[in-house]
């Protein structure tokens, strides 16, 4: 018995010892952190935030970062540390008005397009004006610009997007026109024609074209530049997944990859351009700065990208790194630089998608009030949000429409106006090029969220409004004429005003006289006394028009020299106009005596603005202002004092300081922020 | 020979001058007015050539539509879109029906399919050459 127990005890001991040895020898299952697609995209280097509205950038071979700022200047920035080397706002004997594109020539010089002056100029790498480029080429509104070569690489070619004609002009090094790429060359899979918005040469004779509103990228074989281009590949569609876009505004190439500034996905995607893998690639910078002013790798509404490879050291500008990527974010008034990583994409990576889900408080540049309902919109999801104002604080009660091309869907909301005491809403859809009239149900007795409050009534295509070809509607207003609603739609092309009845069936279009050749008509409003005011952006002017003798007759102007960039116009109280000044982050209250009050200033505290974009007047005279850059709305009393701040699902009436606002935002968004790019 | 031919031509002319949408529909047709009151719309569901009350889940059907302008009965219908969606679920059909527009305001969408139970919203967009106005109604499938 004792021997049996001893054998048993020895067996147990051996088994335990063997188990211990084996457990130590076996590999342990330790979770390994797979790097994310955002972390792998590249390393954050620096940011330069001494800018106003950076909309395009280029990198010279010596590492100088040149930025086109739409406020009217170009800026040279050191690629090494982001310090500003020079600024310039003149082009010969003219002043730059609205630089929209910039490209670096192999010799170090820069080509700059100015959309308002309708000219392209050549500058030295030190920002000195050299000469006008291609003065004999008619370009209606030059925006994006790229320098490359045609097939074989021997013939230099410059591609310039003509935003007025929706074409791309191909121009030789001597400034002669080679040919134009038209919309008919950019055929989408559904048979529609795409509008070119941005360009980049990816190789000799190969041009990548981005179509913002159609969320598509085309790869064109230009051949010798004289024969029609051939589409080698096209990809895209609206969405958050790799290969899809939400407003691709800028493209760039380092020869190997194509980089796309994907504005409403808040990222810069890196994709293959070479067929048959065109559009493949998961690495992306950014993936959304979840709260305003977040930086150091987090990207917020990027609109342009530049990539430099094989940079050399010259003038002390270039960094030690041979590659550099720079992203323009006018929403944050800054550019950020990254060091690109990974020539080949790793097989094992954790895919990070934009931190967006459904409708957000990312309010766009339109607001309208009638019958106790406030309408605003979210550009990312192309939806309209409805607030009920009957209980004092705005309460989100419904959401209308969504992204798409069907009649009840929306591509891009450019303007809105509430009709019929808030029971109807007219929307200008710039991507689908139509007006859409919505109807809402009667307000229920209880304030509840009703997702199906609205239904589409009808649409009217822009093509049936007697507008110029591809004309657009930038703003809407309504007045009461003989007891019936009269809708006024402002078309910047012309410019002209379209007058429509409430059913959209009768319409007449008439030109208006612009007070300045470079200013753009951006907003229209009807005063209580029936005056029609049109706001021109820069130089900012309110022009008053009266309908007399079957035409719009100028009836005076209000010059606004202290307004940096007029954005939207609303009718204020007692005959005043409310002018949103996007450059100075405020709302100017204007009468014939001039600016009588300024509401707000630059910042994040309650009562301050960051890129305000619209105002609307409530029945009691209060001002509702869209504070786009802070992702919120604010209400101000008749005397201009702040009353409350609101967004979807929240509002408060105790004013917070900037520190308090930032602390709340950081705390609320902390979990999401930890997953962002760093 | 000449007389029957003349009668045939006359008959054809009479048929053409009487828009089908104006003809009194039988009991299988249901009626809605478009969302801005411009169109009188009759519709019915046809499966295997026979009119039925409601479509069946996961069974293809044809939607026949007749529309006449209430503003001006002589106003021709220039175009028609027919679609359906489930608003609560945020999706539409999994198929793309073939919409055919006949003369004088009648059309049909062949190959429609409601692939699940619930509330379906049928959207018919009627184009008179100026505006495109929507008529819509709900079909709830058990």
**For A203-261, how does the pLDDT look when each residue is reduced to its tens digit (9 = 90+)?**
999 999 999 999 999 999 998 888 899 999 999 999 989 899 999 999 999 888 999 99
Give the closest residue to A324 by CA, choosing from A92, A585, A60, A125. Answer: A60
Q: Does domain A42-340 have CATH number 3.90.1170.50?
A: no
Q: What is the ipTM of this complex?
A: 0.85
Which positions ≥6 away from A351 have C-beta within 8 Å?
A36, A37, A242, A282
Which positions ≥6 away from A161 have C-beta within 8 Å?
A101, A142, A143, A144, A145, A167, A168, A196, A197, A198, A199
Give the closest residue to A353 by CA, choosing from A303, A288, A291. Answer: A288
| Chain B CB contacts of A451 below 8 Å | 87
Tokens representing residue A532 in the block? 């029609």
Average pLDDT on A265-290 reads 87
B50 in a structural domain: yes
In angstroms, rounded to a whole number, what is the distance separating the alpha carbons of residues B22 and B103? 12
Which positions ≥6 away from A50 have C-beta within 8 Å?
A84
The partner residue sitting opposite B36, judged by closest CB among A407, A452, A457, is A457
Do residue A407 and residue B134 have CB atoms under 8 angstroms apart?
yes
pLDDT at residue A354 is higher than 90: no
The partner residue sitting opposite B130, judged by closest CB among A451, A455, A460, is A460
B13 in a structural domain: no
Range of the domain at B121: 21-141
| Chain A CB contacts of B131 below 8 Å | 458-460, 464, 503-505
Tokens representing residue A606 in the block? 């309650």
Q: How confident is the model at residue A674 (pLDDT cuts 50, 70, 90)?
A: very low
The partner residue sitting opposite B36, judged by closest CB among A407, A458, A461, is A458
**For A24-59, how does the pLDDT look when each residue is reduced to its tens digit (9 = 90+)?**
545 555 555 677 777 777 788 999 999 999 999 999
Of chain A, the percentage scoring pLDDT greater than 90 comes to: 69
| Chain A CB contacts of B132 below 8 Å | 407, 458-461
Do residue A407 and residue B133 have CB atoms under 8 angstroms apart?
no
Best to test chain B binding among A401, A420, A457 (most B CBs inside 10 Å): A457
Which positions ≥6 away from A239 have C-beta within 8 Å?
A215, A245, A246
Do residue A458 and residue B134 have CB atoms under 8 angstroms apart?
yes
Give the strand pairing for A454-461 and A198-203: unpaired
Contact (CB, 8 A) for A616 and A570: yes
B5 in a structural domain: no
Q: Which residue has the tokens 């003038």?
A: A315
Report the phi/psi class of residue A144: left, alpha or beta, with left for phi > 0 and alpha for psi in -120 to 50: beta
Q: How confident is the model at residue A672 (pLDDT cuts 50, 70, 90)?
A: very low
Which positions ≥6 away from A98 have C-beta within 8 Å?
A70, A72, A114, A115, A116, A117, A518, A538
CATH at B68: 2.60.40.1930
Distance from the B136 Cα atom to the nearest Cα atom in chain A, whole angstroms: 9
For chain B, the C-alpha Rg in angstroms (whole number) is 17
| Chain A CB contacts of B38 below 8 Å | 458
Average pLDDT of chain A, as a whole number: 89
Q: Which residues of chain B have pLDDT under 70?
A: 1-24
**For A72-118, how does the pLDDT look when each residue is reduced to its tens digit (9 = 90+)?**
999 999 998 999 999 999 999 999 999 999 999 999 999 999 999 99
Contact (CB, 8 A) for A252 and A343: no
In angstroms, rounded to a whole number, what is the distance separating the alpha carbons of residues A40 and A347? 12
Distance from the A437 Cα atom to the nearest Cα atom in chain B, whole angstroms: 9
A22 upstream amide cis, omega within 30 of 0: no
The partner residue sitting opposite A407, judged by closest CB among B38, B81, B90, is B81
Partners of B31 in beta bridges? B42
B96 at A interface, C-beta within 8 A = no
Which positions ≥6 away from A37 have C-beta within 8 Å?
A242, A282, A283, A284, A349, A350, A351, A352
User: Can you give the pLDDT at residue A67?
Assistant: 98
Do residue B130 and residue A505 have CB atoms under 8 angstroms apart?
yes
Contact (CB, 8 A) for A248 and A237: no
B130 at A interface, C-beta within 8 A = yes
User: Can you give the pLDDT at residue A312?
Assistant: 64
Average pLDDT on A331-336 reads 94
Do residue A455 and residue B83 have CB atoms under 8 angstroms apart?
no
pLDDT at residue A283 is higher than 90: no
Do residue A408 and residue B123 have CB atoms under 8 angstroms apart?
yes
In angstroms, rounded to a whole number, what is the distance separating the alpha carbons of residues B116 and B91? 11
**For A432-462, how does the pLDDT look when each residue is reduced to its tens digit (9 = 90+)?**
999 999 999 987 778 889 989 999 999 999 9
Q: Which residue has the higher pLDDT, A357 or A119?
A: A119
Q: Which residues of A touch B (CB under 8 A)?
A: 402, 406-408, 437, 439, 451-452, 455-461, 464, 503-505
From start to end of B11-131, where are the E strands?
A: 30-33, 39-47, 50-52, 61-69, 79-86, 91-92, 98-101, 106-112, 118-127
In angstroms, rounded to a whole number, what is the distance separating the alpha carbons of residues A580 and A565? 8
Contact (CB, 8 A) for A475 and A415: yes
**For A493-532, how does the pLDDT look when each residue is reduced to its tens digit (9 = 90+)?**
889 999 999 999 988 999 999 988 788 999 999 999 889 9
Partners of A616 in beta bridges? A624
In angstroms, rounded to a whole number, what is the distance separating the alpha carbons of residues A334 and A302? 10
B114 in a structural domain: yes
- Count of Cβ atoms closer than 10 Å to residue B51 Cβ: 14
Give the closest residue to A643 by CA, choosing from A578, A362, A652. Answer: A652
Do residue A407 and residue B36 have CB atoms under 8 angstroms apart?
no
**For A575-598, how does the pLDDT look when each residue is reduced to its tens digit (9 = 90+)?**
999 999 999 999 999 999 999 999
B66 in a structural domain: yes
In angstroms, rounded to a whole number, what is the distance separating the alpha carbons of residues A666 and A669? 5
Distance from the A467 Cα atom to the nearest Cα atom in chain B, whole angstroms: 14
B56 at A interface, C-beta within 8 A = no
Closest residue on chain B to A502 (Cα)? B36
B127 at A interface, C-beta within 8 A = no
User: Can you give the pLDDT at residue A341?
Assistant: 78
From start to end of A263-323, where are the E strands?
A: 267-272, 284-286, 304-308
Do residue B134 and residue A408 have CB atoms under 8 angstroms apart?
yes
Closest residue on chain A to B90 (Cα)? A402
Structurally, how many domains does chain B consist of? 1
Distance from the B37 Cα atom to the nearest Cα atom in chain A, whole angstroms: 9
Which positions ≥6 away from A117 have C-beta within 8 Å?
A91, A94, A96, A97, A98, A518
Closest residue on chain A to B126 (Cα)? A458
Of chain A, the percentage scoring pLDDT greater than 70 comes to: 91
């Amino acid at each position: 018995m004792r021997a049996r127990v001893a054998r048993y005890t020895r067996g147990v001991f051996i088994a335990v010892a063997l188990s211990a040895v084996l457990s130590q020898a076996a590999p342990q299952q330790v979770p390994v952190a797979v790097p994310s697609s955002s972390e792998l995209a590249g390393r954050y280097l620096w940011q330069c935030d001494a800018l106003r509205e950076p909309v395009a950038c280029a990198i010279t071979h010596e590492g100088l970062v040149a930025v086109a700022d739409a406020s009217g200047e170009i800026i040279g920035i050191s690629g090494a540390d982001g310090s500003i080397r020079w600024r310039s706002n003149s082009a010969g004997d003219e002043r730059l008005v609205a630089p929209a594109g910039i490209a670096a020539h192999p010799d170090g010089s820069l080509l700059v397009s100015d959309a308002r002056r309708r000219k392209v100029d050549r500058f030295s790498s030190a920002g000195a004006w050299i000469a006008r480029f291609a003065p004999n080429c008619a370009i209606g509104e030059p925006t994006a610009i790229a320098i490359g070569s045609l097939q074989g690489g021997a013939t230099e070619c410059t591609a310039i997007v003509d935003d007025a004609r929706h074409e791309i002009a191909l121009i030789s090094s001597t400034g002669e026109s080679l040919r134009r790429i038209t919309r008919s060359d950019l055929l989408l899979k559904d048979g529609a024609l795409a509008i070119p918005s941005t360009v980049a040469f990816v190789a000799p004779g190969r041009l990548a074209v981005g179509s913002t509103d159609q969320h598509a990228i085309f790869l064109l074989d230009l051949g010798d530049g004289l024969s029609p281009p051939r589409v080698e590949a096209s990809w895209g569609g609206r969405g958050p997944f790799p290969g899809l876009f939400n407003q691709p505004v800028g493209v760039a190439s380092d020869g190997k990859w194509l980089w796309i500034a994907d504005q409403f996905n808040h990222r810069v995607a890196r994709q293959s351009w070479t067929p048959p893998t065109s559009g493949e690639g998961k690495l992306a910078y950014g993936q959304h700065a979840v709260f305003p002013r977040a930086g150091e790798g987090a990207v917020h509404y990027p609109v342009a990208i530049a990539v430099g490879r094989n940079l050399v050291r010259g003038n002390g500008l270039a960094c030690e790194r041979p590659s550099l990527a720079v992203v323009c974010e006018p929403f944050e008034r800054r550019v950020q630089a990254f060091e690109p990583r990974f020539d080949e994409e790793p097989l094992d990576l954790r895919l990070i998608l934009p931190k967006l889900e459904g409708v957000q408080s990312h309010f766009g540049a339109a607001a309208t009030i009638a019958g106790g309902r406030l309408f605003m919109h979210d550009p990312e999801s192309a939806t309209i949000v409805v607030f009920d104002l009957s209980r004092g604080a705005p309460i989100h009660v419904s959401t209308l429409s969504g992204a798409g091309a069907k009649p009840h869907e929306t591509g891009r909301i450019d303007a809105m106006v509430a009709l019929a005491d808030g029971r109807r809403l007219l929307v200008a859809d710039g991507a689908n090029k139509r007006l859409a009239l919505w109807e809402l149900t009667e307000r229920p007795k209880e304030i509840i969220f009703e997702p199906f409050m609205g239904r589409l009534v009808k649409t009217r295509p822009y093509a049936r409004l007697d507008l110029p070809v591809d004309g657009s509607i930038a703003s809407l207003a309504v007045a009461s004429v003989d007891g019936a609603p009269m809708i006024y739609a402002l078309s910047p092309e012309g410019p002209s005003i379209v007058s429509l009845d409430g059913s959209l069936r009768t319409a007449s279009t008439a030109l208006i006289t612009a007070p300045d050749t470079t200013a753009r008509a951006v907003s229209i409003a009807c005063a209580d006394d029936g005056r029609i005011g049109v706001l021109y952006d820069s130089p900012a002017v309110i022009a008053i028009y009266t309908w007399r003798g079957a035409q719009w007759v100028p009836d005076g102007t209000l010059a606004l020299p202290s307004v940096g960039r007029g954005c939207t116009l609303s009718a204020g109280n007692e005959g005043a106009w409310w002018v949103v000044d996007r450059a100075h982050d405020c709302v100017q209250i204007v009468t014939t005596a001039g600016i009588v009050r300024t509401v707000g200033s630059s910042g994040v505290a309650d009562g301050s603005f960051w890129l305000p974009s619209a105002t609307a007047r409530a029945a009691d005279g209060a001002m509702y202002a869209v504070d786009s850059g802070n992702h919120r709305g604010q209400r101000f009393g008749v005397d201009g004092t702040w009353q409350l701040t609101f967004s979807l699902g929240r509002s408060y009436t105790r004013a917070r300081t900037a520190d308090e606002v930032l602390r709340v935002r950081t705390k609320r968004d902390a979990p999401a922020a930890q997953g962002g790019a760093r | 020979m000449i007389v029957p031919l003349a009668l045939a031509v006359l008959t054809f002319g009479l048929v053409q001058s009487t828009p089908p949408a104006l003809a009194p529909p039988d009991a299988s047709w249901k009626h809605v007015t478009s969302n801005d009151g411009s169109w009188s719309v009759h519709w019915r569901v046809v499966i295997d050539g026979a009119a039925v009350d409601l479509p069946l889940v996961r069974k293809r059907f044809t939607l026949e539509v007749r529309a006449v302008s209430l503003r001006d009965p002589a106003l021709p219908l220039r175009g028609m879109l027919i679609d359906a969606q489930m608003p609560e679920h945020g999706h539409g059909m999994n198929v793309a029906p073939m919409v055919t527009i006949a003369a004088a305001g009648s059309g049909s969408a062949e190959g429609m399919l409601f692939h699940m139970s619930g509330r379906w919203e049928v959207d018919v967009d009627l184009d008179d050459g100026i505006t495109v106005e929507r008529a819509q109604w709900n079909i709830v499938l058990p």
